[in-house]
Amino acid sequence: MTDSVIEVRDLRKDYGGFSAVDGISFDIARGETFALLGPNGAGKSTTIEILEGYRHRSSGDVQVLGVDPARGGLDWKARLGIVLQSTGEAGSFTVRELLTEFAGYYPHPRDVDEVIAAVGLEQKQRTRAARLSGGQQRRLDVALGIIGRPELLFLDEPTTGFDPEARRQFWDLIRSLKAEGTSILLTTHYLDEAAHLGDRAAVIVGGTIAAIGRIDELGGPESRIPLVRWIDASGHRREERTDAPGALVADLQRDGEPPGLEVVRPTLEDVYLELIHAFDLRSEEKGA
């Protein structure tokens, strides 16, 4: 048993002359929650589909739970949990019937009642899946993804359609899975979700990795420098980045507190947007 559940080395996926994934490398440790972030079309879904065994790579080396996903059999697939972006057709089955059916596919499934409660579908367990709301269908997707007690769980935009309270409940569920030792690969456009759940993250843009590291270190020290904003005596809005915001604020307050004074500490969303903007600028310069 290795310390990594996923190992990716120089992964590429080409379509004609276009590289959807352009030589990326990363590892995911056992028991880690790893967030793969990036704009639409960046290569996230292609990467995940290769890791899940749904899509073949053009080149590079990939190991998922010690197996090349291109050759993974049923025993290997039974160790995975997958929550896709879109909901599949469920026919006329109820929530309970679907989960009971899926539980039979795995050697050590979770208790059906436990899973129904975990995703908040107790009141809808006798309802046909086709009659669930969009958010409720998404909860069912998550339930089907975790019923097999997976070692590695792929979550592709899992909380789309969730209201704020449901998202918080889902976060609690993911934390409990992590506490049990489940390794998780998460993609999400909710940066606060990645910040709350992720141990590490990678930002993928244009098929390449723009940054990778711990959530609180992503982008490097420069990206985390606080920003002080205020309105000066002439009425102009000013701002300054500084490693010592307290000293700057104290200096500004010598003649009374200036209007609009605030200290902004960059969030993961701020760092993410800065990385995307920097990549776009580099792309424009190359194309010029």
Q: How far apart are the first and last CA of the chain?
A: 49
Contact assessment for residue 30 and residue 69, using Cβ atoms and an 8 Å cutoff: no
Confidence check: pLDDT of 282 > 80: no
pLDDT tens for each residue of 113-158: 999 988 889 999 999 988 988 778 888 988 999 999 999 999 988 8
Measured CA to CA, the distance from residue 168 to residue 147 in angstroms comes to: 20
- Give pTM, 2 decimals: 0.85
pLDDT tens for each residue of 155-170: 988 887 777 887 888 8
| 112 token code pair | 């059906």
CATH class of 4-215: alpha beta
pLDDT tens for each residue of 231-267: 998 999 999 999 999 999 999 998 889 999 999 888 8
- Domain ranges, ordered by start, for the chain: 4-215, 221-287
